[in-house]
Structure 1
Amino acid sequence: MKINIGSFPAQTILKKGGMGRAGWRSVPERMKFERIKPGVLFRTPWHKDRLFFKVPDPQPWPELGPCSACGTIAVWNARAVDGDHLVHFCRDEEVIPVKVGQ
């Protein structure tokens, strides 16, 4: 699967000492999940060592109904990079975009 890394202004990238696992760098600005474009890598404030990406075609699970926190019917709207399993993020949930380092 092809993952679009996206583009971020150079001044928002952390210095070399702030590099994370596997050569990716955090972009310190938090943003709402709904503003992330499909395919862009991101992490969460509570799982800083795990990467996720937003899927272009969210998958509902009718048996579960809508999310109890946000009400969206598209339950599976992101995928974990390490385990390749579907996960859900609420639209207003804060995430941190990342950029792949050199």
Structure 2
Amino acid sequence: MIRLVPDHSARIQRSEKVPFTFDGVALMGCADENLAAALMQAGVLHLRNAPGDGAPRGAFCMMGLCQECVVFVDGQSVESCRLTVSPGLAVKSRR
């Protein structure tokens, strides 16, 4: 017999929604949520292209180790999983 785990997702308390942009597209994310999670929630999975074959890349480890989720913020390369969403954050892909 399989016992299902109750769905407690409705009990999650999220912070306020704040606007940010990704490649010029306006998106909303929860304040202080990590950027990679906010992008995934918005349906953005393709963050950069692989240098060798140009294959699409996105978040993988979510700990800042693999660097698959690297994006540009203020002209600098940063791991999106290690950056928190803040109002007015402007993010560019590495495509």
Using structure 2 for the length normalisation, give the TM-score: 0.32
Using structure 1 for the length normalisation, give the TM-score: 0.31
Q: Which of structures 1 and 2 has the bigger CA Rg? A: 2
